[in-house]
Amino acid sequence: MVIRDVDHSPFWLKVDGTWVYVDEEVMKAHPGGSAITTYRNKEATTVFHTFHGSSIKAGKWIAKLKEESKDKQPNISDVEEELVGDDKINMGTFDITQEKADDIAKKFDKLRFDLRKEGLYQSDLGWYARKCLEPIGLIALAVYLQLRHEQYVLAALIQGLAWQQLGWFMHECCHQQVFKNPYYNDLLSYFTGDFLQGFSSSGWKEQHNVHHAATNVLGRSSDQESERFCKLERLRRVTYCSDGDLDLLPFYATVVQDLKLVDHWVLKLLPYQHIYWTFLLPLLRLSWLANSISFVVGMPANYYDVYRKKAVYEQANKSEYARFIENVHLAPLLAAHWILVLYQLYLMPDWATRATFFLVSNLTGGFLLAHVVTYNHYSTVKFPYNARILSNYPCLQIYTTRNMQPSPFIDWLWGGLNYQIEHHLFPTMPRHSLPKVMPRVRDFCKENDIPYQFTNDGDHNKSGGRLHYWLASGVGAVRQRCSCREEETEQNVLTPFS
């Protein structure tokens, strides 16, 4: 989970052939938070209908914006930045003609409509009830092993697995997959996210919506921008890319643009990232826990209306719990989670056992989450900020996403995210429908000559390792260039008129 700064200046979106103006009032009212900013001054027709296809409210809202903007249409050109030299490392190209791209978008819209008509967006509540009870049962088993048999390490491993499985379930609630009514999805996400595993549902949804809207697009999937180059240089505006779910700087870099944002000493560490990257992935859960607390504490003052309103669920009502909020500053659902965690640790015999249980359970849960979310996107190409592919939603998602070989065990362990291409194309589709859709998507890719990235478990870590090695191999050249430019900048500062 990555907490970001977002550019809230007004911009335009193009939906159904009409540019609509997005001002501060529209941004604040957007139910999806900052995801709307990822398509700043871009074509957004397909992504809008993919995210809001069944929403009557969204349809009325966009119709109102079109009416207000119809007489003041801007002339916005779609100019893509040309990358040169090292900036091309791990960057993709999209050289499909505009005619072909438009044809792919139309065929994708038809496919999406057909799948909805066939009932593949319908949720099986019995199936989801079982998926909710499975991790709860694992937690009960962990507690039983702890209290009755004193099997603390085994209990910690099982609890870490339960937290990973709860993460997948909360993910589906936040994507509105379980119930038709978003309100019930939100309530269930608070229970399985905030209470059972200590993850803020709203905080997770804020960053994950951004990740889905502009996957692997520099400066849009992270919504962070910097005007510094190698600490001293201010030559041009630089943006960098994050998976959306993960922001691993300064310890990992996936594109050369990342290297330009880190301090010079970090460049001495990054050449070895392909060696140590796997060993730090278990820290993911601890990072998300800390960011969840930070996000929930700030919800009452959040820029977006949706999070201020939801603070009543994730944070105590100030009129009833004023002293609690003012002195403790923790949301009750997250506080309840941590009270249970601390009580569970209290029941253990000594501090060594408590520390072991806490670390093993959280690091296990972190690794089980991270080995999935890093694989799906970190091993694929990235695109520059003004990439033309951003205006073609299906191509963007397919080019920047990778599937894992399906099997009953992998389907369960990965929470259906081994069908990541299908999930990104149809984010509100229930998990149990993704295996049925996979052959249709592969046929769609073959018909339109789009690469369908698919691999087996044996290539999982190899692909991630290769990615980090490729970039690490270029760190030396970038470090040297940064040093030279830093020296030039210092000289220019000292002798500005020479």
> Encoding tokens for residue 314?
């994730």
Structural Rg of the chain based on CA atoms: 23
At 240-268, the pLDDT tens digits run: 344 445 556 667 777 777 766 666 666 67
CB 141 within 8 A of CB 450: no
- The more confident residue out of 333 and 422 is 422
CB 6 within 8 A of CB 210: no
Return the DSSP state at 39. G
What value, to the nearest 5°, has the Cα angle with vertex 130 and ends 128 and 132?
70
Gap between the Cα atoms of 234 and 74, Å rounded: 30
Closest to 245 in 3D by CA, of 288, 201, 185: 288
pLDDT confidence band for 299 (50 / 70 / 90)? confident
> Encoding tokens for residue 271?
């050449």
Q: Which of 204-208, 225-229, 385-389, 405-409 comes out lowest in average pLDDT?
A: 225-229
Residue 55 Cα to chain centre, angstroms: 22
Q: Quote the crossing angle between the two packed helices 152-174 and 182-189, to the nearest 10°.
A: 160
Q: Is the pLDDT of residue 362 over 60?
A: yes
Give the predicted TM-score (pTM) of the model: 0.84
DSSP conformation letters of 403-427: EE---HHHHHHTTTGGGHHHHHHST
- The more confident residue out of 17 and 360 is 360
Return the DSSP state at 267. G
> Encoding tokens for residue 298?
């700030």
> Which three-class secondary structure state does DSSP give residue 199?
coil
Percent of the chain with pLDDT over 90: 45
Residue 478 Cα to chain centre, angstroms: 28
From residue 65, give the alpha-carbon distance in Å to each of 19, 45, 58, 175, 369: 9, 14, 11, 25, 39
Q: Which run of H or of E encompasses 334?
A: helix 332-346
From residue 374, give the alpha-carbon distance in Å to each of 292, 342, 431, 463: 20, 30, 19, 10
Q: Is the pLDDT of residue 476 over 70?
A: no
pLDDT confidence band for 150 (50 / 70 / 90)? very high
Gap between the Cα atoms of 100 and 205, Å rounded: 33
Gap between the Cα atoms of 224 and 222, Å rounded: 5
> Encoding tokens for residue 155?
């209990």
CB 295 within 8 A of CB 18: no
Give me the pLDDT at residue 225, please: 35
Gap between the Cα atoms of 359 and 151, Å rounded: 15
Q: Which run of H or of E encompasses 18?
A: strand 18-22
Give me the pLDDT at residue 444, please: 97
Give me the pLDDT at residue 393, please: 93
> Encoding tokens for residue 74?
């801007």
Find where tokens 């018909």 sit: 447
